[in-house]
């Protein structure tokens, strides 16, 4: 005797299979259309908003996307991503100041340092899960924060790292004008986005999703769960480092706050706001949060945290999948109904 099966439909008038069919059919052309729209938006952004703000949006969007590889695709909530964002920013700044190399080389050095730093931290962290993993990563990030604060001869301590140059093969427009610097740094951000997309859409990414959904079953199938988590942790750190390095070069200095736990918290907020497990959600979340913060700051409003926190609460209560996730789900529901 077979047990009865029940099918829970996510739609009032369309089955879950129909939704899946709509997703599968629209995946090809929809994906390319989204990529085209995203590229055009990235190229047009400094024409719409102040170029330094556009650069902040791009760098923080990559930071959120890097975190989403852990949170949305591996099921690991990290409160220590600031360790890789901030350490890469410091290394990028130090390399640019002391060696005078073009800023893409300095950013690459910072990202490689973040990945190297992530190996021992990840090795000790991925053996935990849930809140324990979050607390371990937070502890390591705070250790780096206090180290940077005390090592003032190198990091500048509370004053931060000042006068980070924007060297770019002697091209003065890029080195002095934020508008042209945006287009010189944008390929680094786009490369990071492409790398994140390749990670989650590869067989490796499918294993990460399997680990997120059911780690014991993935282990029973023969996958080394801790090894996959560690690799994802290191890759996420490298992408966070790319964003942090570009952010440091763009601002011309590195603040101690880049290593603080609140920076990790902001990345988590942006990712959840946009929609975890989507990649595009991190981009949308960064656009909303950075633009809103800039507008509030320009208006002289001091309680930015109150507004952003209120928006976050409203989105979590009304849009359980985040802004992008809710919109995507509504689109697929509409396609399923048409079928």
- Per DSSP, helices labelled H in 100-130 are 103-125
* Contact status, residue 220 vs residue 274, Cβ threshold 8 Å: no
pLDDT in tens, 175-229: 888 999 999 999 999 999 999 999 999 999 999 999 998 888 999 988 999 999 9
Distance CA 36, CA 129 (A): 37
Collapsing DSSP to helix, strand or coil, 87 comes out as: helix
Please report, for the chain, how many H helices and E strands are present, in that order: 15, 0
Counting Cβ atoms within 10 Å, is residue 90 exposed (0-12), middle (13-18) or buried (19+)? buried
Residue 304 included in any domain = no
Q: Domain residues for 110? A: 49-260
Global confidence as pTM: 0.87
Residue 193 is assigned to a structural domain of this protein: yes
Q: Which residues pair with 254 in a beta bridge?
A: 161
Tell which residue, 51, 59, 108, 36, has the closest CA to residue 270: 59
Is 22 a member of any domain?
A: no
Residue 4 has pLDDT above 70, yes or no: no
Interval 243-280: pLDDT, tens = 999 999 999 999 998 998 889 888 998 998 888 888 88
Reading the block at residue 83, the tokens are 């360790």
Tokens 């089955």, residue? 15
Dihedral sign for Cα atoms in the order 328, 330, 331, 335: positive
Contacts 24+ apart (CB under 8 A), 10-14: 10/329, 10/333, 11/333, 11/336, 11/337, 13/337, 14/333, 14/336, 14/337, 14/339
Task: With respect to residue 216, please indicate whether it lies within any of the assigned structural domains.
Answer: yes
Measured CA to CA, the distance from residue 253 to residue 194 in angstroms comes to 27
On whether residue 301 sits in a domain, the answer given is no
Residue 294 counted as domain residue: no
The string of pLDDT tens digits covering residues 292-336 is: 888 877 777 676 677 777 777 777 777 777 787 777 777 777 767
Q: What is the pLDDT of residue 17?
A: 47
Give the residue ranges of DSSP H helices in 161-279. Answer: 172-176, 178-200, 203-213, 215-220, 225-251, 261-274
Q: Which two tokens stand for residue 157?
A: 């301590």
On whether residue 198 sits in a domain, the answer given is yes
Number of domains in the chain: 1
Distance between CA 64 and CA 290 in Å, rounded?
12
Query: Residue 16, Cβ neighbours under 10 Å: how many?
Result: 13
Residue 23 lies in a domain: no
Nearby residues of 159 by Cβ (< 8 Å), 6 or more positions away: 152
């Amino acid at each position: 005797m077979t047990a009865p099966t029940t099918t829970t439909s996510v739609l009032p008038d369309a089955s879950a299979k129909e939704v899946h069919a709509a997703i599968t059919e629209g995946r090809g052309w929809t994906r390319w259309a989204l990529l085209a729209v995203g590229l055009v938006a990235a190229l047009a952004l400094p024409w719409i908003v102040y170029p330094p703000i556009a650069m902040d949006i791009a760098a923080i969007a990559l930071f959120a996307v890097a975190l989403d590889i852990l949170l949305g695709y591996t099921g690991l909530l990290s409160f220590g991503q600031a360790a890789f964002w901030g350490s890469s920013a410091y290394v990028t700044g130090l390399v640019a100041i002391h060696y005078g190399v073009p800023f893409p080389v300095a950013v690459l050095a910072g990202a490689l340092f973040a990945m190297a730093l992530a190996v021992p931290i990840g090795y000790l962290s991925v053996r935990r899960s849930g809140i324990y993993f979050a607390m371990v990563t937070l502890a390591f990030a705070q250790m780096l924060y206090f180290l940077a604060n005390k090592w003032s001869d190198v990091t500048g301590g509370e004053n931060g790292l000042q006068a980070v140059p924007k060297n770019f093969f002697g091209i003065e427009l890029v080195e002095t004008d934020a508008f042209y610097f945006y287009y010189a740094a944008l390929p680094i951000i786009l490369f990071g986005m492409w790398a994140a997309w390749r990670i989650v859409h590869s067989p490796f990414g499918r294993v990460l999703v399997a680990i997120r959904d059911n780690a014991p079953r993935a282990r029973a199938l023969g996958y080394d769960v801790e090894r996959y988590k560690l690799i994802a942790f290191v890759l996420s750190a490298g992408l966070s480092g790319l964003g942090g390095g570009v952010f440091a070069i763009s601002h011309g200095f590195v603040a101690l706050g880049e290593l603080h736990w609140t920076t990790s918290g902001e990345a988590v907020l942006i990712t959840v706001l946009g929609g975890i497990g989507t990649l595009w959600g991190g981009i949308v979340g960064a656009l909303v949060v950075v633009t809103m913060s800039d507008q509030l700051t320009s208006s002289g409003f001091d309680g930015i945290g109150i507004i952003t926190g209120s928006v976050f609460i409203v989105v979590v209560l009304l849009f359980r999948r985040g802004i992008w996730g809710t919109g995507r789900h509504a689109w697929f529901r509409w396609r399923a109904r048409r079928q």
